[in-house]
Amino acid sequence: MDFTFTPLAIPEVLLIEHQVARDERGFFVESYREDAFLRAGLPRFVQDNHSRSGAHVLRGLHYQTAPMAAGKLVRCLAGRVYDVAVDLRRRSPSYGRFVAVELTGGDCRMLWVPPGFAHGLLTLEPDTEVAYKVSAYYSPAHDRALRWNDPAIGIPWPVADPLVSAKDRAAPLLAESDPGF
Ligand SMILES: Cc1cn([C@H]2C[C@H](O)[C@@H](COP(=O)(O)OP(=O)(O)O[C@H]3O[C@H](C)C(=O)[C@H](O)[C@H]3O)O2)c(=O)[nH]c1=O
């Protein structure tokens, strides 16, 4: 099965689509092939994550600092998410800008969020499940958060008052942070 890798408005962030084998039983996909992803310039992955959330839950904006900066290959398994990547690379022309896509369970699309970007997601339906591969192990010492509703980033989250963890509610603004990329 083939994959297509489409650069978004910030070209390092990719929307990845793949073929689907559908029949009367349902569907089958190859959701990942190392050879195709390495050929597309993505790194190898070392950890798989999976979260389930109720509706209108916002997780993020999160990133890990060097040398544990992690790229994330995000896929929605069930429900619907508004998924966001924020460019934290100081010398990038798109520093502080974001790209957002909506992913739904079974839509067979994934988002590649490279190292150097913060990632956040807002669930739009109950029992939404997201699975994502990461290119660096979780490291609490390098785990950082940015304020989800930082006006300097200006993400138009589709829900005004989502459920956000205490840690994320207390996250610093971009202007108060030094992600170091
Ligand atoms: C990320 C992570 C967390 N944890 C532990 C730490 C906490 O005890 C618990 C929940 O962690 P946290 O509240 O950081 O989980 P999320 O808010 O879903 O954060 C994630 O969601 C946003 C959208 C991301 O992009 C990151 O992958 C990740 O930060 O799992 C682990 O044990 N391993 C891990 O890799």
Q: Give pLDDT, residue 106.
A: 83
* pLDDT tens sequence across 92-138: 999 999 999 999 998 889 999 999 999 999 999 999 999 999 999 99
Q: Report how many helices (DSSP H) and strands (DSSP E) the chain contains, helices first.
A: 2, 14
- Using the mean position of ligand 1's atoms as its centre, give its distance from the Cα of residue 23 in Å: 36
- Using the mean position of ligand 1's atoms as its centre, give its distance from the Cα of residue 24 in Å: 37
Q: Give pLDDT, residue 12.
A: 97
Find residue 151's DSSP bridge partners: none
The response to whether residue 60 sits with its C-beta less than 6 Å from ligand 1 reads yes
Give me the mean pLDDT over the 63-77 stretch.
97
Alpha helices in the chain (DSSP H): 34-39, 166-169
Specify whether 62 is catalytic.
yes
Q: Give pLDDT, residue 108.
A: 85
* pLDDT tens sequence across 13-67: 999 999 999 999 999 999 999 999 999 999 999 999 999 999 999 999 999 999 9
Q: Which residue in 18, 56, 62, 119 is the catalytic one?
A: 62
Q: Give the CATH H-level superfamily of domain 46-176.
A: Jelly Rolls (2.60.120.10)
Specify whether 63 is catalytic.
no
DSSP assignment string, 161-177: S-EE-HHHHTPPPGGG-
The residue type at 108: C
Please say if the pLDDT value at position 71 is more than 90: yes
CA 4 to chain centre: 18
